[in-house]
Amino acid sequence: MTAATSTSPATLTTLATPAPPQPAMPGVLPASPPPSDWVLQVSGISKRFGGLQALSDVGMQIARGQVYGLIGPNGAGKTTFFNVITGLYTPDTGQFELAGQPYQPTEVHRVAQAGIARTFQNIRLFAEMTALENVMVGRHVRTGSGLLGAIFKTRHFMAEEAAIEQRAHELLEYVGIAPLAHDKARTLSYGDQRRLEIARALATDPQLIALDEPAAGMNATEKVQLRALIDKIRHDHRTVLLIEHDVKWVMGLCDRVTVLDYGKVIAQGTPAEVQRDPQVIEAYLGTGGH
């Protein structure tokens, strides 16, 4: 792998389970479940694709209410790690705990039910659905009416659908796109589509929200708005794990950072600690022999 990024030396060396109750007011996330020390604890994660060892003995611990960054040069294994913990890839080895409970990331829908929601580097919305409908789809992971209730339009089903719609409106307000509720997803601006993806992820009442390069393709103004939204999520006692190539943006936002290179952890700690680590500087900037 070649360490290919636009990161400058200055950037690296000088940057300092039960669903919670509904909110009392629209636009405010519900309180988290009672706090525990760790939301996500993973260790010994390995994943091989044929002759390529994509991950080797990767682990991390993320505390409740943190914004945790996962960075590394291109091809370092960041997206593979995301895909493993969210059930898209089956790991070869690894131990997984979410909010103190073991979970097996072998099926995407079960991971979502356990309490991990994610967005994707390439936005994945239902383009012909409205913004409201997209968020309602996310909320259905926390419903219980089932197929028969939907077919026969039972009283319980209708009440549940009304609650889902109300919650979806609240989340659209929370992320700042409530006026666009009835616009089709494909008509939204790029930045608003990113916000919609986050609203849909929040609709699952996650213990952990995993954001895969949320600032990719955004202009400077949109990045400022996105940072404000992630700060808002953190201050509401939600926990965020994110991949991002914009190192300066990560260092100014995250509480802790893990750095991968060639599928291995080369550094973990606060942004100030990580940015001074010689292995990190070498991985990003290269040396005569790398």
- Once rounded to an integer, what is the mean pLDDT over residues 3-24? 41
Q: How do residues 198-245 score in pLDDT, each as one tens digit?
A: 999 999 999 999 999 999 889 999 999 999 999 999 999 999 999 988
The CATH number that domain 1-14+35-115+206-290 falls under is 3.40.50.300
Question: Residue 67 pLDDT more than 60?
Answer: yes
Instruction: Please say if the pLDDT value at position 30 is more than 50.
Output: no
Confidence of residue 59 (pLDDT cuts 50, 70, 90): very high
Which is more confident, 80 or 29?
80
Q: Are 185 and 134 in contact (CB under 8 A)?
A: yes
Task: Identify the CA nearest to 160 among candidates 172, 178, 143.
Answer: 143
The pLDDT of residue 160 is 83
Residue 68 has pLDDT above 60, yes or no: yes
Show me where the domains of the chain are located: 1-14+35-115+206-290, 125-205
Three-state SS at 266: strand
In this predicted structure, the answer to whether residue 143 has a pLDDT above a threshold of 90 is no
pTM higher than 0.85 for the full model? no
Q: Residue 148 — very low, low, confident or very high, per pLDDT cuts 50/70/90?
A: low
Write out pLDDT tens, residues 78-98: 999 999 999 999 999 999 999
Q: Which amino acid is at 62?
A: I
| Strand partners of residue 263 | none
Q: Is 242 helix (H, G, I), strand (E, B) or coil?
A: strand
Helices (H) and strands (E) in the chain, counts: 11, 10
CA 30 to chain centre: 18
Strand 67-71 with 52-63, pairing:
unpaired
Specify whether the CB–CB gap between 208 and 66 falls below 8 A. no
Integer Cα distance of 177 and 190 in angstroms: 12
What residue has token string 């952990």?
208
